[in-house]
A and B are shown apart, each in its own frame.
Chain A
């Protein structure tokens, strides 16, 4: 039944062109937003800029609750609300803008596989470091997550979120991992991405695709976010082609505007 709803939304989406007043919602940038949400939001912003679709970024404290799926970021276009990169890519495709049309089937399979690799490893590692590592959770995640709310609501929400994320980590088997193992997994993931990128400007040669946007979002956020230890950023910095990749996308799509 949700498939029928998706098809209906696609049809509605195809009917109208991209409006000027499209907005992207995310939590407050300075005080509230966390590493994983910031990475996802930056990935969507990069994707929309690559498609040359204008969007305004609006920061709201309750963005997570406004989102239809509970995940950040979400965009409000016309009279539709779509959240998360996957559905947003399909939504823009229904409107006729797509970055991966030129790929053949095998390349598309590879692109989807690498996107799942980033989601499976990098995103999960970010969530683990934020919520399952006690030091980071106490110093950074819980205070930031609950900053817009007053006591006792702030405590309740922060611990509830932590409990949810820890349950999920246990279910997928990351509950028993140590921080060192998680850093090791991130290194392996970055090694795989670095080897796939090689010396090319983008993952699929000349044109950026949603994979480039996703990888940029995660790597750039990790490199520029202050955590309790710089171990994660150091691991990524050891892959020079990934660093120049991030720099290249930042210069091509984000320079000249404050994001």
Chain B
């Protein structure tokens, strides 16, 4: 569709196109899918208070929330998930749920609730990007929203105190980062050789943690040990957001016949079934090995080739 699209989001810093997780997700997806959007940062405008960010304006319609925006772009035929199988699509949903449940509370805490980080990094940054007199209101409002979200979802009624959940949310977040690292392995992207919406979500969540200069963050030091995740962020920044060379073209989407699409899906299902039959034939029904395979330790992840 040729209608011009405008994206409102927070501005960038620390080497990132935007410091706000949701805005980053949408920006990354537009690059992956080849959608042309004009980015209008809301910094230094009154929209810092009034607008819900990110927001995509296309013609008369305004779409908010990353999932809704991604759906909208897909309908406009900007689809980075074109080559995924049905099962990979299901995996995408599952991993996004994992990020939301396990990683988001800890990120909110690191940036908005932890006193040192908030006073030294987050509040000055957001205050400096808001016009007077909003610079007093905007960071406070975000911090309160973050705190109430953490307490309502993770706090155990009736003792709503943040200190009791801190330990739990950080250990959950570290586990989540480990799981992502295992899943990514040595590949460049989560599914094959071209990035998809899952890569956009992981990038949006992990990149601010990787790049921000946080005074105190055990979570950031934990992330720094996971080389493949930091390499993943750096690769995406270098390939899609660097101003030196142009972005690689998105996977070409010909106008595919609906029948051809159905046929492709059937063939995929058939090959999955054949794989499973093969597995069943191979594994003997009686004996299940009791010794689990020696699990590769995290140290072995360091041997993966950095970007």
Contact = CB atoms under 8 A, between A and B. Distances in A.
Contacts of B65: 173
B91 A172 contact: no
Counting chain A residues whose Cβ lies within 8 A of the other chain, the interface size class is: 35 or more
Interface in B167-189: 167-168, 171, 175, 179-180, 182-183, 185
Given A105-B182, A106-B185, A171-B152, A117 B157 contact: no
Contacts of A110: 91, 94, 183
Interface residues of B, number: 43
A178 interface: no
B98 interface: yes
Contact of A116 (B102, B279, B292): B102
Given A167-B152, A171-B153, A188-B93, A116 B86 contact: no
Given A3-B171, A164-B157, A171-B152, A206 B97 contact: no
Contacts of B305: none
B195 to A, nearest CB: 18
A2 B156 CA distance: 13
Given A112-B179, A171-B153, A196 B90 contact: yes
A91 interface: no
B264 interface: no
A107 B273 CA distance: 19
B279 A113 contact: no
A168 interface: yes
Contacts of A119: 97, 101
B97 A113 contact: yes
Interface string B87-112: 10111011101101110000000000
Nearest to B182: A105
Contacts of B101: 116, 119-120
A1 B167 contact: yes
Nearest to B185: A106
Nearest to B170: A3
B71 to A, nearest CB: 11
Interface string B141-179: 000000011001100111000001001100100010001
19 contacts: A69-B156, A70-B157, A104-B293, A104-B295, A108-B179, A108-B182, A110-B183, A113-B91, A114-B94, A117-B94, A117-B98, A120-B97, A164-B157, A173-B65, A192-B94, A195-B86, A196-B94, A198-B273, A205-B283
